[in-house]
Amino acid sequence: MTVAAGGVTAGLRGEELGRRLVGLLGEDKVLWKRHDLLLYEYDGAVDTAAPDAVVLPNETADVAKLARFCWDHGVPLVPRGAGTGLSGGAIPVFGGVVISFARMARILEIDVPGLRAVVQPGVINLHLSTAVAPYGLYFVPDPSSQKACTLGGNVAENSGGPHTLAYGVTTNHVTGLEVVLADGTVVRLGGRAWEQSGYDLVGLFVGSEGTLGIVTEVTVKLTPLPEDKRTILAGFPTMDQASETVSAIIAAGIVPAAIEMMDALATEAVESAVHAGYPRDAGGILLVEADGLRDGLDEQRERIEAICRAQGATTLRVAGSALERERLWAGRKGAFAAMGRLAPDYYVQDGVIPRTRLPEILRHVREVGERYGVRIANVFHAGDGNLHPLILFDGSAGEAVLEQVKQAGFEIVAACVEAGGSLTGEHGIGMEKNCYMPIQFSANDLAVMQRVKRAWDPAGLMNPGKLFPTPGRCREYDLGRRR
């Protein structure tokens, strides 16, 4: 079997595939009956597709054996962490086998002097930081789903989070990988050292969304916990004022650990669900956190507060305790889940724009919502211009409504690219935005990417239907448009 741009020719499928996998790996590692597969038809996005089987490996040898089997029989292979992804990255577009890393969830080593940890891909993000906290260390990337998302998923999507403004995204904190290639070969890329000679293959794999191979072990950089923190909540009459404040803080030479923003609609949902203490009468709020050495932090806090006042802040509050800080962050981390207070479903994009274009693009988001007759809540990483417009809708209203919502999302992300930004900051391209790739990349750009894909995965079995446009799905988009 081969996977082409427009689809897949069928390999081993259905019940026969399931029974062959049981013979290969054992009954306790394989799911193939219909009722067992329902959970694996979806992730945190809106699209669905059913696998033919699910495999739950215990070790790298299981993954290598499975990959070789799929290579020999032309079966697509789709890696899955916790299923919290927001771009359809874990959806088996063409069926085949979903490989779930729920059982490969061990922290293999904590190297305190070397500031490294070695983990399996199913380790929960927050569990790693909890495990190394007694040593005064943590793992920096902190997606909002960090209580559930896995390190393997973070590597696949190059995940970020609120505190990556100052510290960088996942690729800045991964030094080594163990990878199973499409034909079952096991290779090690990078290691414990930060600098490696030759090609940066670790950098290539982080963010490749499972399309080049399957990560079975991750060596990550650990960071000393900051000596202290200052967390500031600022409320503004309008989103424009909050947006201008973000640029003013950075322009003043201050780079906080995090600058998060919410509009009034998002604040309404969060306060109803979490009771974080956000001002309900604000048009826009900022959550700013500075960390580092205790000496100088209060001076930095005062400068940030002064900038907020100068930009028209009507509410200013500094967390007075660790408990109050946690409550403020619980509101931000729980924002997506809180949308259920406003609508049964949401569709989220994560385009990136230059900070200076925030007021303009947020006005465009509001205009798109008005034109399509949908409410859009904004909660995002303002410091690095990574937007998260949540388009609220009712999925039970039918496919036509979902298609309208997707078109609204396309217009927003296209505007981000036109503003000098990009399609995604941390959620990945997946099957959600693969049709949009030509608005940012030329045909030559995409051809080079596809050559890289073919070099690692010549049969096209590794997570097919992701990243690249598929003509059958993408005809309705203006694929000739790009920056």
- 60 neighbors 217 (Cβ within 8 angstroms): yes
At residue 164, the 3 state secondary structure works out as helix
Three-state secondary structure call for residue 458: coil
Report residue 185's pLDDT band, with 50, 70 and 90 as the boundaries.
Answer: very high
Q: How many angstroms separate the CA atoms of 20 and 40, rounded?
A: 20
pLDDT at 196: 74
Q: What is the pLDDT of residues 70-88, one digit of tens each?
A: 999 999 999 999 999 999 9
Q: Which distant-in-sequence residues (6+ apart) come within 8 Å of 435 by Cβ? A: 469, 470, 473, 474, 476, 477, 479
Residue 479 has pLDDT above 80, yes or no: no
- Which residues are 281's β-sheet partners? none
Q: What is the mean pLDDT of the chain?
A: 94
User: Given pLDDT bands bounded at 50, 70 and 90, which one contains residue 13?
Assistant: confident
Looking at residue 189, its pLDDT comes to 96
Question: What pLDDT does residue 480 have?
Answer: 45
Ordered structural domains, the chain, with CATH: 3-100 (3.30.43.10), 107-224 (3.30.465.10), 228-338 (3.30.70.2190), 343-432 (3.30.70.2740)
Give the per-residue pLDDT at 471: 75
Q: Running DSSP on this structure, what letter comes out for residue 319?
A: -
Q: Which amino acid is at 286?
A: L
Residue with tokens 């090690």: 188
CA–CA separation, 289 and 258 (whole Å): 5
φ, ψ for residue 52 (rounded to 5)? -85, -25
How high is the pLDDT of residue 481? 46
Work out the average pLDDT over 105-111: 98
For residue 195, what pLDDT is reported? Answer: 73
Mean local confidence (pLDDT), 185-202: 91
Model confidence pLDDT, tens digit, residues 399-456? 999 999 999 999 999 999 999 999 999 999 999 999 999 999 999 999 999 999 999 9
Q: How confident is the model at residue 473 (pLDDT cuts 50, 70, 90)?
A: confident
DSSP 202-271: HHHHTTSTTSS-EEEEEEEE-EEPPSEEEEEEEEESSHHHHHHHHHHHHHTT---SEEEEEEHHHHHHHH
Q: Which residues contact 134 (CB under 8 A, 6 or more apart)?
A: none
Alpha carbon distance 29, 22 (integer Å): 7
In this prediction, residue 475 carries a pLDDT of 65
Do residues 297 and 240 make contact, with C-beta atoms less than 8 angstroms apart?
Answer: no
Tokens at 327, concatenated: 């409550």
CA–CA gap between residue 240 and residue 243 (Å, rounded) = 5
Kindly tell me if the per-residue pLDDT of 170 is higher than 70.
yes
Q: Output the pLDDT for position 194.
A: 77
Is the distance from CB of 350 to CB of 379 less than 8 angstroms?
A: no
199 SS3 class: coil
DSSP, res 148: T
Query: Does residue 483 register a pLDDT over 70?
Result: no
Among 129, 178, 369, 351, CA closest to 263: 369
pLDDT on residue 182:
98
Which residues are within 8 A (CB) of 349 and not within 5 positions of it... i.e. 6 or more apart?
387, 388, 389, 391, 409, 412, 413, 416, 433
CA–CA distances in Å: residue 113 to residues 117, 175, 221, 225, 320: 11, 16, 11, 14, 33
**pTM (predicted TM-score):** 0.94
Average pLDDT of the segment spanning 339-348: 96
Look at residue 125 and tell me whether its pLDDT is greater than 90. yes
pLDDT of residue 10: 53
Higher pLDDT, 189 or 195: 189
* CB contact at 8 A, 390 and 377: yes
Decide if pLDDT at 317 tops 60.
yes
Which amino acid is present at 442?
Answer: S
pLDDT in the model for residue 309? 98
Average pLDDT of the segment spanning 133-156: 97
pLDDT at 6 over 50: no
Is the pLDDT at 470 greater than 90? The verdict is: no
Can you name the residues that pair with 350 across neighbouring β-strands? 424
pLDDT of residue 11: 72
pLDDT tens digit string along 238-290?
999 999 999 999 999 999 999 999 999 999 999 999 999 999 999 999 999 99
Give the C-alpha separation, 210 to 180, whole Å. 11
